[in-house]
Amino acid sequence: MPALGLVETAGIAAGVGLADRMVKEADVNLLRATTICGGRYMIQVEGDRAAVAAALAVAAEDGSRIIGKYLIPQVSSEVLDALRRPSGVRLGQAIAVVEARTATSGIVAADAAVKAAAVSLAKLVTGQGINGKSYCVFCGELSSVEAGVRAAVDVLANNLIDTMVLAAPDQAVLGELTRILG
C-alpha cells in the first residue's frame, strides 16, 4: 500500500509554493493541490512511505502556516479511490456520516474507519464549499458501520464535529445525499 501525505495551509499563495517544493524535492505523485474554503489550501501526495515523509519534512521546514499535516503510512485503497474519483452511496445498507473540523483530518478519519471495520467508503468530501471542513460517508452492516464510526471518532479527537448513523436510510434521503455530494 502506498503512503498518503496531507498538508493544509492557512494561505493559498504559500500553499501553491509549498506544493511545488514538495513534488520537486520528494519522489511523490501529486493527487490534489487546491484551494478550499476559508482561504486555505490543501495538498495531497502519494508515494512510498520514505518519499511521502520527505515531502512532509519539506512542509515542516517551510515555515508556512500549517493547519494540518498528516502521514498515513499505508493508506487504504478505498481512500485513494475516493480522493481520485468519488463513488456513490450504496442502497440497502446502514450508512454513517462523520464530519471533521478540517479537510485533512477527515481523510485520516475515513482511512481509520475502513481499516477498522468491514465498511465501504461511499463518499469523501474535503474542504470545498463546506468552509474547509470535511466529511465521509461509509456503508455496510450496522455493527460494522458503528465500529467504523468509533475508529473515526478515536482518530479525530478534537477535530470531530459530529457523527450520524442511519440503520435503514430512506431511499429519498440517499438520493439527496448522492445529489448533494455528487
Q: Is residue 181's pLDDT more than 50?
A: no
Which of the residue ranges 126-130, 133-137, 173-177 would you say has the lowest mean pLDDT?
A: 173-177
Residue found under cell 445529489 = 179
Task: Give residue 179's pLDDT.
Answer: 57
Between 93 and 146, name the one with better pLDDT. Answer: 146
Cβ 140 vs Cβ 147: under 8 Å: no
Domains of the chain: residue spans and CATH:
3-72 (3.30.70.1710), 77-181 (3.30.70.1710)
The per-residue b/e assignment along 160-169, b for 16 or more CB within 10 angstroms, e otherwise, is beebeebeeb
Residue found under cell 465500529 = 147
Task: Give residue 132's pLDDT.
Answer: 82
Confidence bin at 182 (pLDDT 50/70/90): very low
Strand partners, 96: 138, 165
